[in-house]
Amino acid sequence: MDPRRQKLKQLLAAGKTLAALGATDALSAKVIESHGFECVYIGSYATAASRFGLADTGLLTLNEMAEQARTIVDAVRVPVVADAEGGFNDAANLWRTVQAFERAGVAAIHIEDHAFGKHAEVPQQLRPGPEAAARIRAAVDARGDPDFLIVARSDAFWVARDLDDCIARLRLYAEAGADLVFPTLVGPAELAEVRRRVARPAMVVDMPGRSLAEHGDAAIVLYYAFSALAQLDALNAAAARFKATGLAPGNAADLEKLLGYQAFAARARKYGESS
């Protein structure tokens, strides 16, 4: 039994809306945790950008995503929610995907029904609902820890603005055993309808310009680009300032405190080594 998985289930059972700020790496995850947030998210968007300097176009592998998740799990004490894309494997081999993320220590993964596209400039394709449901069922059957949560994501509303199809799909996925459902890019009215018609807690992507309180029908709100966008703004500003003034940013002591250098120094003193 993993206490962080149990903690996430307890938080969800309490009925509060959790803000899962997106990390790019272990350092950003530690910063998020240090501000008292109760879970952290790692997605393909931030991983593609931070590890490879690439756009999120579906090119990441299972090993790359699971390893990125593991580094974040190892850095924090709070539950980590991870992006498992479309599952990376067919239904018969989805056990390998679930096993990889369970071994990485994450508390929950979401699996989407998007087969190809994910960008307006190219044709977008969804898996047939029954096929996507079979993949959710396979993921549920494959987990070794019952506290490991499977979230079923449907992009039907995003792709076609078809809320009825999205809800029909999410109901299939709930029947297949999904612990939460994830309708992509819905607004408050659509989310309320999902909650009325699907008997599962909902995960959503943050709605730009709306406060966390305005996502009240959601159990978890993913701020998937939070750290990536913050780092882009901060690094651009710091680089421009350095170019203009020659002055480097920040205080290394603050970073070392966050990273636990003092604990290392205490161990070195305890065991008689110079620090």
Q: Which amino acid is at 66?
A: A
| Average pLDDT of the residues in 114-128 | 81
67 shares its domain with 153:
yes
Give residue 71's domain range. Answer: 3-224
d(CA 154, CA 273) in angstroms, rounded, equals 55
φ and ψ of 149, to 5 deg: -90, 135
Percent of the chain having pLDDT more than 90?
83
What's the whole-number mean pLDDT along residues 130-141?
98
Residue 1, pLDDT score: 80
Is 178 contained in some domain?
yes
**Residues 251 and 131 placed together within one structural domain of the fold:** no
In terms of domains, do 116 and 179 share one? Answer: yes
Tell me if 229 is assigned to some domain. no
In this structure, is residue 275 part of a structural domain?
A: no
Domain identity same for 158 and 119: yes
On whether residue 50 sits in a domain, the answer given is yes
- pLDDT tens, position by position, 218-261: 999 999 999 999 999 999 999 999 999 999 988 889 999 999 99
Q: What is the pLDDT of residues 99-120, one digit of tens each?
A: 999 999 999 999 999 987 777 6
Please tell me whether residues 118 and 52 are part of one structural domain.
yes
In a domain, 111, yes or no: yes
Give dist(CA 84, CA 45) in Å, integer: 12
Same domain for 150 and 210? yes
**Are residues 122 and 33 part of one domain?**
yes
Q: When comparing pLDDT for 215 and 4, which is higher?
A: 4
Confidence at 268, pLDDT banded by 50, 70, 90: confident
Same structural domain, 159 and 265: no
Per-residue pLDDT reduced to its tens digit, 72-91: 999 999 999 999 999 999 99
- Residue 61: CB partners within 8 Å, gap ≥ 6? 88
The pLDDT confidence band at residue 274, using thresholds 50, 70 and 90, is low
Q: What is the reported pTM? A: 0.94
Are residues 264 and 148 part of one domain? no
Q: Which two tokens stand for residue 242?
A: 């350095």
pLDDT value of position 29? 98
Q: Are residues 85 and 14 in the same domain?
A: yes
Same domain membership, residue 178 and residue 255: no
What is the domain count for the chain? 2
